[in-house]
Amino acid sequence: MSINSRAFQLARFQCCKKTYKIGVSAITEEKRLQTENVQKIAKQNLEKGERWHKKLSVKEIVFGFQDNSIAILAVLAGVIGGSLQRGQILLAGLAAVIAGAISVAIGDYVSSKSEVEYFEAEINRESLEIQDNSPVEREEVRQIYMKKAPFTENELAVIENRITSDKKAWLDTMAKEELGIVRERFVHPLKVALIMMVAETIGGLVPLAPLLVTQNTRTGFIAAIIVTFAALFAIGVWKTTFTRKNKLVSGIEMVVAGIVATVIPYVIGNLLSSITVTF
């Protein structure tokens, strides 16, 4: 083989080697970028989930709206049959809206505060047990993860040692896994109460709205029934934004719940009114 031929083959080999390295580097860089992208998306999802728990209280919104809208509709049913004027009916309804919203908000504040205090007390008790570095607490960590997946004894030992070496991580694990308490889901009782009060107020004003635009109270009451149940259907559809359930089914569910909450008290009231009381 001539010297020129050997030089050509060597140059070709070096070129192929360089091309191969560039290709490998490109693949490595692509994988690195994919990994970073996956990590970024996962982090965003976790942060988004945490913000979701802290920002929105679907239970309070749905309950508050449904509760006071039906309550005020029942109040209207009672007062419209009497001899009250339209303005008196509106004032009675507005007073009921305000009273109901404040009462339920205070009740929700007290109950939410009690729940948070109870959870905090449970976490503090667990913290004291961890501070004592109890062998039982360490064994509980091992058994928790033993139920999660078929880990080997060596893997369980590593997990146990890693978690129990950090008191904060240890407490967080025990709170979530043993007590079923997730701190991120704690909402300040005052915030819960305010959400409930706003939902109750809006829900209560819905049945009153038709009476503001019509002079005939009976026509206004019929319109109030239609508007109230249409609003309940809309709330049912709205909550599917978070529940991912069928919109029609969810809307009908809210309407049915409203009808039941309206009809049952009416039937019970009629039954009680037929009873003769002698005292």
The residues, any chain, with a CB within 8 Å of residue 252's CB and separated by 6 or more, are 233, 236
> Where are the domains positioned within the chain?
63-265
Determine how many CB atoms are found less than 10 A away from the CB of residue 20.
Answer: 10
Indicate whether 13 pLDDT > 60. no
pTM confidence score:
0.70
For residues 97 and 203, is the Cβ–Cβ distance under 8 A?
Answer: no
Query: Is residue 23's pLDDT more than 60?
Result: no
**Confidence at residue 7, expressed as pLDDT on a 0 to 100 scale:** 52
Of 160, 158, 120, nearest in space to 140 by CA: 160
89-110 pLDDT, tens digit per residue, is 889 889 999 999 999 999 999 9
Query: Could you report the per-residue pLDDT of 124-183, keeping only the tens digit for each?
Result: 888 888 887 778 888 888 888 888 888 888 888 888 888 888 888 888 888 888 888 777
**What are the tens digits of pLDDT across the range 35-67?**
767 667 766 665 665 555 555 578 888 888 988
Tokens of residue 8, six digits: 């050509």
Distance CA 258, CA 264 (A): 10
Using only C-alpha atoms, the chain has a radius of gyration, in whole angstroms, of: 32
Neighbours of 57 (CB within 10 A): 20
Q: What is the pLDDT of residues 181-207, one digit of tens each?
A: 777 677 788 988 999 999 999 999 999
